[in-house]
Amino acid sequence: MSGTGKDQQLVDEARMAFHAASDPASLENAKARFLGKSGLITEQLKKLGGLEPEQKKQEGARINALKGEIEALLSQRREALAQAQLAAKLAQDRLDISMPGRGMSAGSLHPVMTTWQRVEAIFKSMGFDVADGPEVETDWTNFTALNNPENHPARSMQDTFYLDLRDADGLPLLLRTHTSPMQVRYARSHQPPLRVIAPGRTYRVDSDATHSPMFHQVEGLWLGEQVSFTDLKGLYFEFLCAFFETKDLDIRFRPSFFPFTEPSAEVDMRFSTGPLKGRWLEISGAGQVHPKVIQNFGFDPQEVIGFAFGSGLERLTMLRYGIDDLRLFFENDLRFLRRFA
């Protein structure tokens, strides 16, 4: 077979090998067979060294022409594979404008926030205002104004988050441990009679299945000339009935102690129906506002009397929805949160 015939055969073999390559990696392997360091064209080039000058010139021209033809076939196949890959990607990413649009799922409130809004709405319907205030508080507003003595355990670093900042008296600022400071601020800027609730985030050094270092509270304050424990009991019973949407419940007051109220009580509730039927459940702390706290509000305790109460919003939420682990509220588990969407 002549050189021309052999060259054409080599070109045809290269065309078939390149065409059989279905991806760039396979094409590079086929290229190596013809144009690699040990390829068929390279082997022919290596033999030029043993030829006479005139023959070397002729053979060199032939081999270069052959190499150029095979390289052209290689370039064509590379381009074809690139186009095929692009077409496949475009087909995969193709947007059919005749198809319905992808709907956006609507978000929803966290169950504790739903409770917060529900509590606000109920107390507003009873004539209560809603107070707001800073989460970073002074020692006086958080403790002293509420009749907490200097040696009270709540002031320790084991219970309170202190900041590396000082107030005007040189005492460290802190993250509020309850929402009572908002009541202090509200009372000092309003005149009785007054009714106010103070919902918000609070912070304490505590963390387990029933406690979190950050949690939500709602505290209430009612001050006037003739406000009694009977008013407190009636108000809180009506609130619980509205919140749980049932009157099939009982409440009881157990004697307790809080520095800012005297007398003080723990409030328990009991459902008459449902999975918690018959169990007394602690739901709130309450009491008649201590005379020293009334004075710190700027009022005369001989003329102004009232009561205060406080509940954890997480606690109310857990009882309303039957949740037994506080940590579920803070894990951002969509499977849990979608139950309340």
Q: What is the pLDDT of residues 113-160, one digit of tens each?
A: 999 999 999 999 999 999 999 999 999 999 999 998 777 676 675 688
Beta-strand runs (E) in 128-213: 129-130, 136-137, 162-166, 172-175, 194-203
Residue 216 pLDDT > 70: yes
pLDDT classification of 14: cutoffs 50, 70, 90: confident
Residue range 269-289: mean pLDDT, rounded: 91
- Looking at the predicted structure, is the pLDDT value of residue 281 above 60? yes
The confidence band for 298, taking pLDDT boundaries of 50, 70 and 90, is very high
Average pLDDT, the chain: 88
Q: 102 or 163, which is more confident? A: 163
User: Could you say which DSSP state residue 100 is in?
Assistant: P
Distance CA 15, CA 19 (A): 6
| Element holding 206 (H helix, E strand) | none
pLDDT at site 6: 81
Task: Read off the pLDDT band of 334 (50, 70, 90).
Answer: confident
Answer whether residue 37 shows pLDDT above 80. Answer: no
Vertex 29 angle, CA 88 and 4, to 5°: 110
Choice between 154 and 33, residue whose per-residue pLDDT is larger: 33
Yes or no: say if 178 and 198 are a contact pair by the CB < 8 Å rule.
no
Task: Give percent above pLDDT 90 in the chain.
Answer: 48
Domain ranges of the chain: 3-91, 111-340
Banded model confidence at residue 1, pLDDT cuts 50, 70, 90: very low
Tokens of 3: 């050189």
On the question of pLDDT at 275 being above 90, the answer is: no
CA distances from 75 to 1, 79, 301 (A): 28, 6, 97
Contact 58, 48 (CB under 8 A): no
Give the pLDDT of residue 209: 55
Predicted TM-score (pTM) of the model is 0.67
Structurally, at CATH architecture level, domain 111-340 sits in: 2-Layer Sandwich (3.30)
Mean pLDDT for the stretch of residues 64-88: 87
Apex 238 CA angle, 234 and 244, nearest 5: 145
Nearest to 115 by CA among 16, 200, 230: 200
In this model, does residue 103 exceed pLDDT 80? no
pLDDT (0 to 100) of residue 3: 54
Q: Does the structure show a pLDDT above 70 at 217?
A: yes
- In angstroms, the CA 178 to CA 148 distance is 13
Q: Let me know the angle formed at the C-alpha of 10 by 4 and 12, rounded to the nearest 5 degrees.
A: 105
> In angstroms, how far apart are the furthest CA atoms of the chain?
128
Identify the DSSP state of 207.
-
